[in-house]
Amino acid sequence: MGAQVSSQQNSGNGDVLSVHSLDKWNTQFQNSKTSNKLMVIDFSAAWCGPCKFIEPAVHDLAVEFSDVDFIKIDIDELPDVANDFDVKAMPTFVLVKRGKERNRMVGVKKDELHRMIEKYRY
């Protein structure tokens, strides 16, 4: 089997961490509970057109907000995690801080996602 966590980088310092296993997700989520960092979870799917459309914008946000953890989860690889967060459509972005959901957005709305990150990152 390939790597269970991969990092996709844009031309800056921002990373979007792709999580491919439940163990790695659980580790990430547990770490977020003790951290004051905002975590943005991007729930997507390989077959989702809008997910592919917004992906470059998410990478740009990861560069801009290098103090925020960006996690990408494919709902077909980790359906239990998607169910835990009650994901019904893609893309769904869930903002989590200290293990608690702070806000969410469904759809391709980069400006709204940017505002939400600004609001909850501190």
Domain span at 18: 5-120
Q: How many domains does the chain have?
A: 1
Distance CA 83, CA 92 (A): 12
Report whether pLDDT(99) > 70: yes
Q: Is 48 a catalytic residue?
A: yes
The pLDDT value recorded for residue 5 is 40
CATH number of the domain within which 60 lies: 3.40.30.10
Q: Which of 19, 40, 41, 51 is catalytic?
A: 51
Residue 66, φ and ψ in degrees, nearest 5: -70, -10
CA nearest to 43, candidates 3, 80, 12:
80
69-81 confidence digits (pLDDT tens): 999 999 999 999 9
> Is 8 one of the annotated active-site residues of the chain?
no
Identity of residue 21: S
Exactly one of 38, 41, 45, 48 is catalytic; which is it?
48
Please report how the helices 110-120 and 49-64 are oriented relative to each other, as an axis angle in degrees rounded to 10.
40
Q: pTM for the whole thing?
A: 0.88
